[in-house]
Amino acid sequence: MTLSRRGLGAAALSGLAAPAFAQAPWPNAQPIRLVVPFAPGGTTDIIARILSAELSRRIGQTVLVENRPGAGGTLGTGQVARAAPDGYTLVLSLISAMVVGKVLYGDRAAWSPDRDFAQVAMVMSTPYLILVRPDLPIRSLAELVAEARRRPDGLSYGTSGTGGMPHLVMVRFLQAAGIQMTHVPYRGAAPVVTDIAAGVLPMMVDSLTAASANIRSGALRALAHTWPERVPAFPDIPTFREEGFADLVVDGWSGIAAPAGTPRPILERLAQAVRETLATPEVQRRYAETATAPGRLFLDDAQRFVREEIATWTPIIRASGATVD
């Protein structure tokens, strides 16, 4: 499928369409790259692979997932910011990179999450959790805090990388509880789970999307999560609010974005494909399996949402004392 001649003409008149777009109607020229700025096996990778097959069918062109991890998600995100705005390079935009990573890496992330990207859609939201080994005699945040006070600097935790939202969630929790633990950053969540199973680490922080299967199997025990209310699929897991940490409310959202300047007809076509994809029974089933909430914002509404998240989180991140140095 390609855009109609009427759509192409309107884009050309508006000055949005690049010459290459007019000469080779999108998306016939080549596969579409969906860059995931984190390693395989984590939340963003899971969601990208759930969506890519259905998006390929609806767009009429292959959507290839490409993992580009590094620097708290800012490396792969920045590569897409510099890509040609032709609809063939997209990024899974997420709070860890677009907001947290950008603030923590500052000028080293030489792009703007608002100015350099056109948001296509929000595709998901998920809470974060503190997860412990099932053999660890800790079953609540209160017990975790007590153990950390009994053994200052004696506990360690793993995350998918320095500067990501799991890291920031734990930094905020440790500051609120007045305790210390050693952060062990990995390049992705999957190796953290492996080391926890091997007894190398006692705990980790991850999203419910990524951890749901391990929670159901008993491989990990969840102590609390960051949504304001309990998750219906996991009603036994309390919220941080319930456990006395009223300010620890975090939504781990992800979206799909294109480089700024991508022609509006392409963005609209992508947004419609995402909307249809999120409504399919198969995607809804996969989301339900991982207790993931689908996104509901598209185009200008999604752009506005990201802008508001930047304004909300920037002072919180700076006040938290989190650092990547």
- Dihedral angle over CA of 247, 253, 257, 259, nearest 10: 30
pLDDT in tens, 142-161: 999 999 999 988 999 999 88
Q: Report the distance separating Cα 235 and Cα 252, nearest Å.
A: 19
Rounded mean pLDDT of the chain? 89
Q: Report the distance separating Cα 296 and Cα 302, nearest Å.
A: 9
pLDDT at 21 over 70: no
Which has more confidence, 163 or 54? 54
What pLDDT is attached to residue 219?
A: 96
What pLDDT is attached to residue 17?
A: 41
pLDDT at 113 over 90: yes
pLDDT at 11 over 50: no
- pLDDT band at 19; cut points 50, 70, 90: very low
pLDDT at 7 over 70: no
- pLDDT band at 55; cut points 50, 70, 90: very high
pLDDT in tens, 166-181: 888 998 899 999 999 9
Q: Report the distance separating Cα 92 and Cα 255, nearest Å.
A: 6
pLDDT in tens, 236-276: 999 999 999 998 999 999 999 999 999 999 999 999 999 99
Across 102-107, average pLDDT: 87
- pLDDT band at 325; cut points 50, 70, 90: low
Q: Please, which residues bridge with residue 172 across strands?
A: none
Sequence-separated (6 or more) residues with CB below 8 Å from residue 233: 212, 288, 291
Most confident range, picked from 20-29, 183-192, 199-208? 199-208
Helix residue spans in 159-220 (DSSP H): 165-177, 190-197, 208-217
Q: Report the distance separating Cα 80 and Cα 258, nearest Å.
A: 7
Q: Please, which residues bridge with residue 67 across strands?
A: 36
What pLDDT is attached to residue 24?
A: 62
What pLDDT is attached to residue 1?
A: 42
Q: Report the distance separating Cα 191 and Cα 194, nearest Å.
A: 5
What pLDDT is attached to residue 77?
A: 96
Q: Report the distance separating Cα 87 and Cα 68, nearest Å.
A: 18
